[in-house]
Structure 1
Amino acid sequence: MSEQKIVTLDLTGCKYAGEFHERIRIAFDFPEWYGKNWSAFWDLLRTECDADKVKIIGEHTLPREFDGYIEKMHEILQRNKDNHKQYGHNFEFEIIN
């Protein structure tokens, strides 16, 4: 069995919306032209991400203003998980605090 590919997204101490999406871009190894919005995240997650699992670290360190961002990110990751399952593939995400 091949080894699981894991993406680790560290949000510890993130202070700005642009920084949030830049950390996503770097963690997922998305191209420079990543649009830094939720539609772009969904599109590239679906087409460019071959990870079996995403580990998210540091959510609890974010200011309350990021609650909507975190919720939206979880929603998209869950949609990706459901989408993979539909086609018999595995995808997971884990929040580590």
Structure 2
Amino acid sequence: MVIIDVASVASEDELHRLLQREFDFPDFYGRNWAAFWDAVSGLVFIPEQVRFVGWKSLAERVPDGAMILTDCLDRYRDRYRPGLRVEYR
């Protein structure tokens, strides 16, 4: 399981930097949602369980980013990893 604390994230750029570090995305990661999709769907292995803590703060500070992230992870689960469990706390 990977636990990612997003409570202090205040921008999409910060969110992408955190995701890059926590999911071990390559140095050339573009820090945008198209690059996120490319990374999770073909470049890195996402663990079977991912827990985001501080989600309420992220959703308040970076609502579009929080929404897009959940959409991307739902799509990833539907297409590639039906057993993926993602928690937003």
Question: What TM-score bracket applies, with the shorter chain setting the length?
Answer: 0.7 to 0.9
The equivalent residue for 1:14 is: 9
Residues 1:38 and 2:37 are matched in the alignment = no
Q: TM-score, normalised by structure 2?
A: 0.85
Cα gap change, 1:40/1:30 in structure 2, threshold over 3 Å: closer, same or farther?
Answer: same
- Unaligned runs of 5+ residues in structure 1 are 1-5
- Unaligned runs of 5+ residues in structure 2 are none
Give the RMSD, CA atoms, in angstroms: 1.7
Larger relative contact order (CA 8 Å, sep ≥ 6): 2
Number of aligned positions between the proteins = 88
- Percent identical pairs in the alignment equals 26
Give the Cα separation in 2 of the matches to 1:56 and 1:44: 18
Moved over 6 A (4+): none
The equivalent residue for 2:84 is: 91
Give the Cα separation in 1 of the matches to 2:39 and 2:59: 26
Query: Greater CA radius of gyration, 1 or 2?
Result: 1
Q: TM-score, normalised by structure 1?
A: 0.79
